[in-house]
């Protein structure tokens, strides 16, 4: 190792610039419809640059990166397609013709070169083709949404450094038409092009009118010397049970000079110690000569690391990242180019599990039970940002997920997406651009041969691999969704993405060295990828039935107990299982006019089931009902008739929580015995949809978010809803010993009719253990509706490892007794402390149910446990050490180190005793002059927990963080089943 050195190091969660000499071009853009521009590209970039000064000018401020439709919306030239039925009032490209969405984009940038310098103009993504003009010079960009374009414009730059750039962007060649009845991918014509397929509409998405035409990804220019670095490839291998690691590095080098370049090529590996200091782990320099006007591939000698910090998925360990920097100096010039990337030492293996038939993933030799979700993209108009990606991926990590599947009808996701997956530990399943509906079946039946240009598809695929392959979070490549690519494409991908022999082996005990390989095996970094398995389709080779038959799903509401039953899903790994996803009422009001605030009509059928009939706006936004006639009774009506939108959405959140917690707990209950993993369809919506989401498009979480967060804890206690056995789950690689489980039933009167503690338990690693049957329903005179609180805790220090709260009814019953329970006024005390760093607020709260506990706890030897708070290993808001204080509240206050003058105490008085049910916070602006339908919420907000319940005497810490614009005063409001209308808890002055 080398000495500690100080240099500017980006913070851990900031995206690193891959090219230090790169400048992004993301401001100053203007756009206009091509048919309204009278000048050519040559004229626009020489004698007649656009101006916005004339009121009759066709030019408008443009959103780049972005799409034509996003630019039109930015300028109020079209109604908001995500609001109400307004998308129906935007002309579709099928009706307007492609010329209507063919647009000019124009900007200027400054770049002045010195001797022997070169400039590349880079487009990381254009949909679908473009004509580029720079200072009067024309460059044609070929077709394909998922290809990078790097243009040597050295000879086109203006001598004074001011450069005029115009880009004429053409839509996809086959935008298709939207059949009257809609359908998956419209008429499927879009599948003839190498582009996103969802844009013709799906059962969760309305059509995107411009088909995402635009400069949709980053534009930049980079300045280099005579030699530039192209697409380095980083790979780690291991030996001695991961105590020894080797970094393999290959890069392409291009010498653009007319003379042989004598070069010094260096690779440096550093690890960050804090925000300003990094530690150099390795620095290696090699001398080489590169012939004039040539490309060469260079492989560094492998670098050895002893006991490296490993990268682990979420829930398995830390996401340790190193920075790998490559630079090249040219004799007589100096540094010619440099490149850097975060890198994680880890090994991912994938095989079909003999016991379950499901695909099994191992990371660093440890099996990982997959619990994650399907992802389309964050925004249907491709309005991407690092801040949005950070929020999106952190939300997934907060749900304790460990995998995201990038669905084939959407995007090859961007490096920023992958960067945050690297930082938060989300494994990524990346599909190529094939879907069954658009590529082989559907109504009408689609073309089974995929895109018309197979060579273009493969070019885009190979370029995408080079773009993404260095990210440790990338776990596997998949040919397509519910379909495999055409035979020639599939064969080519199998060959291109074949595994290096080291990654085919599960033997990690023998040392691996590139020097040990025969010439035919080569260094692994010389492969296109070589480290990740390629699966031909999402229902093949260990997923669903493994043979491509329709064996994913279902996609509707389920009886919660069914998730635990043998018949529910019989294959080892389900890549898609979906359900409901109603947002909160404030989101409905913010995204729909008042006629969209009408709740469904509940139509009772002759067989006793209820059919929900939604209003037309909900139907357009793809609402999925909370009932399935003939199988599942309406889950909203289990709580009584919904009175209005607020009541309906509140009850929907109860169902969301129950549904998704049961889904994940049902799968986890059969971990390794029946299942290897599950991916929920889907985690979010790229527009204001009303199904399959854990947070809405405005970034407010549903209660299903917290149901998942609870169920997917690495260490978890749960109730099997089919057998009523209490189960303990340990997904970690460490044995848990000397633990106990507390089982407490609370009734609606605030009494405790059932209480047991099971002590001295041991939980083996990566196992699910049935502990004991919960027999309260079989007891004498059980209450028809009751609450169940489970706690798994460490007996040595009483630290709670898992807390799980259920509301339950007896078999054949319902939850209608909870309706009058709303009238109970349960007293609460909320202690809060506010801190602020720049524009980020952090609010720490202690929420206590101050109602009196039953006398049973006063004489119990374990009574102190029920004084406890929720502090699982996955929460970092409380870091308590040892100590002799008695009582959890004192320990919490000591850990937070609060001062009395920093605190705000809010008391909500009430005469009743019982559970404070379904509490949830929201953050709002303090404005009071708003009208009905105005959205006062501040979003996004990160909560350590939400939609929680507190039994008498119980205290829970809640941490809230959010960002607010300057001049906005936020306030925190507490809502709950017993607190209709909300209570202002904290207003930041």
- Which residues belong to the active site? 482, 576
Q: For residue 940, what are its two tokens?
A: 């996004």
Residues 590/594/599/605 CA torsion (nearest 10 deg) = -140
What distance in Å separates the CA atoms of residue 371 and residue 485, rounded to the nearest whole number? 26
What distance in Å separates the CA atoms of residue 665 and residue 723, rounded to the nearest whole number? 13
Q: Is the separation of the CB atoms in 306 and 238 below 8 Å? A: no
Partner residues linked to 710 by β-bridges: none
Q: Which secondary structure element, helix H or strand E, spans residue 895, and what is its range?
A: helix 888-896
Q: Is the separation of the CB atoms in 833 and 841 below 8 Å? A: no
Instruction: Identify the residue whose tokens are 């809230």.
Output: 960
Instruction: Indicate the SS3 state at residue 948.
Output: strand
Count of all residues that appear for the chain in the document: 989
Instruction: Indicate the SS3 state at residue 86.
Output: helix
User: Checking DSSP bridges between strand 941-943 and strand 828-837, what pairing results, if any?
Assistant: unpaired
Q: Is the separation of the CB atoms in 305 and 244 below 8 Å? A: yes
Instruction: Identify the residue whose tokens are 């139907």.
Output: 619
Within 10 Å of residue 220's Cβ, how many Cβ atoms?
19
What distance in Å separates the CA atoms of residue 549 and residue 300, rounded to the nearest whole number? 45
Q: DSSP of 438-454, one letter per residue?
A: TTT-TTTT--TT-SS-H
Sign of CA dihedral 533, 538, 540, 544: positive
Alpha-carbon 551 to chain mean position: 25
Short-list 157, 292, 290, CA closest to 223: 157
Q: For residue 272, what are its two tokens?
A: 């960050």
Sign of CA dihedral 34, 37, 40, 44: negative
Q: DSSP of 491-529, one letter per residue?
A: HHHHHHTPPPHHHH----SS---GGGS-TTT--GGGSSS
Task: Give the up-direction half-sphere exposure of residue 956: CA atoms within 13 A in the CB hemisphere.
Answer: 25
DSSP state of 135: T
Q: Which secondary structure element, helix H or strand E, spans residue 388, and what is its range?
A: helix 386-398
Q: For residue 404, what are its two tokens?
A: 């995201």
CA distances from 14 to 22, 419, 837 (A): 16, 9, 17
Q: For residue 967, what are its two tokens?
A: 């001049």
454-468 helix and 487-496 helix, angle to the nearest 10 degrees? 30
415-424 helix and 454-468 helix, angle to the nearest 10 degrees? 40
Q: For residue 566, what are its two tokens?
A: 């043998």
Q: Is the separation of the CB atoms in 889 and 848 below 8 Å? A: yes
What distance in Å separates the CA atoms of residue 408 and residue 538, rounded to the nearest whole number? 9
Q: DSSP of 237-306, one letter per residue?
A: EEETTTTEEEEEEEEEEEE-SSSPEEEEEEEEEEEESSSSEEEEEEEEEEEEEE-TTEEEEEEPPPEEEE
What distance in Å separates the CA atoms of residue 102 and residue 171, rounded to the nearest whole number? 6
Q: Is the separation of the CB atoms in 32 and 60 below 8 Å? A: yes
Q: Which secondary structure element, helix H or strand E, spans residue 464, and what is its range?
A: helix 454-468
Show Cβ contacts of residue 701 under 8 Å, excluding neighbours closer than 6 positions: 395, 694, 695, 943, 946
């Amino acid at each position: 190792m080398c000495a500690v050195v100080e240099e500017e190091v980006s913070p851990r969660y900031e995206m690193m610039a891959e090219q230090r000499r790169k400048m992004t071009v993301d401001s100053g853009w203007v756009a206009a419809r091509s048919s309204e521009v009278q000048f050519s590209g040559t004229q626009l970039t020489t004698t007649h640059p656009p101006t916005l000064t004339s009121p009759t000018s066709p030019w408008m401020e443009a959103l780049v990166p972005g799409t034509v439709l996003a630019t039109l919306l930015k300028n109020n030239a079209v109604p908001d397609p995500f609001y109400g039925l307004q998308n129906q009032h935007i002309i579709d490209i099928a009706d307007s013709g492609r010329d209507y969405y063919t647009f000019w984009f124009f900007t200027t940038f400054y770049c002045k070169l010195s001797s022997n310098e070169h400039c590349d103009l880079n487009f990381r993504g254009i949909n679908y083709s473009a004509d580029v003009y720079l200072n009067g010079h024309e460059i044609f960009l070929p077709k394909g949404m998922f290809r990078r374009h790097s243009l040597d414009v050295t000879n086109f730059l203006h001598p004074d450094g001011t450069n005029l750039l115009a880009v004429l962007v053409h839509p996809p060649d086959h935008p298709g038409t939207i059949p009257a009845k809609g359908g998956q991918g419209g008429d499927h014509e879009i599948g003839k092009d190498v582009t996103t397929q969802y844009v013709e509409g799906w059962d969760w998405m309305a059509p995107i009118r411009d088909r995402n035409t635009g400069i949709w990804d980053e534009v930049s220019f980079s300045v280099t010397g005579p030699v530039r670095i192209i697409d380095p490839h980083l790979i780690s291998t291991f030996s001695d049970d991961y105590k020894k690691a080797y970094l393999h590095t290959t890069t392409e080098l291009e010498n653009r000079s007319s003379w042989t370049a004598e070069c010094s090529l260096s690779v440096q590996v550093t690890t960050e110690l804090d925000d300003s200091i990094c530690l150099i782990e390795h620095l290696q320099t090699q001398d080489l000569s590169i012939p004039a006007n040539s490309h060469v591939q260079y492989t560094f000698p492998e670098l050895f690391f002893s006991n490296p910090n490993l990268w682990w998925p979420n829930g398995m360990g830390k996401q340790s990242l190193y920075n790998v920097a490559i630079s090249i100096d040219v004799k007589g010039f100096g540094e010619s180019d440099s490149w850097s990337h975060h890198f994680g030492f880890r090994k991912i293996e994938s095989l079909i599990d003999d016991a379950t038939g499901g695909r099994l993933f191992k990371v660093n030799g440890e099996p990982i039970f997959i619990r994650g979700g399907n992802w389309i993209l964050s925004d249907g108009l491709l309005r991407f940002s690092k801040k949005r990606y950070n929020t999106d991926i952190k939300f997934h990590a907060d749900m304790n997920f460990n995998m995201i599947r990038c669905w084939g009808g959407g995007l090859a996701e961007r490096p920023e997406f992958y960067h945050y997956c690297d930082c938060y530990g989300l494994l990524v399943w990346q599909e190529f651009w094939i879907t069954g509906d658009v590529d082989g079946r559907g109504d009408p039946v689609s073309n089974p041969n995929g895109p018309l240009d197979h060579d273009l598809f493969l070019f885009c695929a190979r370029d995408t691999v080079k773009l993404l392959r260095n990210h440790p979070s990338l776990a596997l490549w998949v040919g397509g969704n519910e379909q495999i690519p055409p035979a020639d494409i599939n064969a080519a991908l199998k060959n291109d993405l074949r595994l290096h022999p080291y990654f085919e082996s599960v033997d990690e005990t023998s040392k691996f060295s590139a020097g040990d390989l025969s010439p035919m095996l080569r260094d692994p970094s010389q492969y296109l990828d070589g480290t990740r398995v390629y699966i031909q389709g999402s229902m093949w080779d260990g997923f669903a039935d493994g043979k491509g038959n329709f064996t994913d799903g279902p996609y509707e509401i389920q009886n919660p107990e069914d998730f635990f039953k043998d018949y529910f899903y019989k294959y080892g790994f389900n890549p898609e299982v979906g359900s409901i996803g109603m947002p909160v009422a404030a989101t409905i009001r913010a995204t729909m006019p008042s006629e969209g605030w009408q709740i469904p009509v509940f139509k009772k059928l002759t067989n006793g089931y209820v059919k929900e009939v939604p209003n037309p706006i909900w139907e357009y936004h793809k609402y999925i009902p909370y009932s399935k006639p003939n199988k599942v009774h309406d889950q909203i009506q289990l709580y009584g008739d919904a009175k209005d939108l607020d009541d309906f959405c509140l009850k929907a959140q109860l169902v969301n929580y129950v549904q998704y917690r049961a889904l994940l707990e049902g799968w986890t209950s059969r971990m390794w015995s029946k299942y290897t993993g599950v991916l929920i369809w889907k985690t979010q919506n790229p527009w204001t949809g009303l199904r399959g989401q854990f947070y809405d498009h405005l970034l407010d979480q549903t209660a299903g978010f917290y149901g998942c967060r609870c169920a997917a804890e690495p260490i978890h206690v749960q109730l099997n809803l089919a057998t009523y056995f209490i189960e303990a789950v340990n997904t970690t690689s460490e044995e848990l010993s000397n633990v106990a489980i507390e089982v407490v039933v609370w009734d609606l009167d605030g009494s405790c009719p059932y209480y047991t503690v099971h002590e001295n338990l041991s939980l083996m690693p990566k196992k699910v253990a049935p502990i004991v049957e919960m027999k309260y329903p079989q007891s004498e005179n059980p209450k028809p509706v009751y609450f169940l609180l489970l706690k798994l805790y460490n007996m040595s220090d009483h630290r709670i490892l898992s807390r799980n709260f259920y509301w339950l009814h007896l078999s054949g019953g319902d939850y209608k007794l909870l309706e009058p329970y709303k009238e109970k006024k349960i007293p609460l005390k909320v202690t809060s402390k506010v801190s602020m760093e720049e524009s980020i607020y952090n609010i720490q709260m202690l929420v206590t149910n101050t109602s009196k506990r039953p006398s049973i706890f006063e004489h119990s030897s374990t009574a102190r446990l029920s004084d406890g708070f929720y502090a699982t290993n996955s929460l970092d808001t409380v870091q308590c050490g040892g100590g002799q204080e008695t009582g959890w509240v004192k320990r919490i206050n000591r850990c937070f180190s609060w001062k009395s003058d920093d605190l705000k105490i809010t008391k909500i008085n009430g005469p009743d005793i019982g559970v404070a049910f379904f509490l949830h916070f929201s953050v709002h602006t303090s404005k009071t002059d708003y009208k009905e339908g105005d959205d006062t919420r501040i979003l996004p907000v990160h909560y350590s927990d939400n939609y929680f319940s507190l039994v008498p005497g119980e205290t829970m810490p809640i941490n809230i963080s959010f960002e607010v614009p300057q001049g906005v005063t936020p306030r925190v409001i507490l809502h709950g089943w017993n607190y209709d209308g909300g209570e202002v808890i904290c207003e930041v002055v």
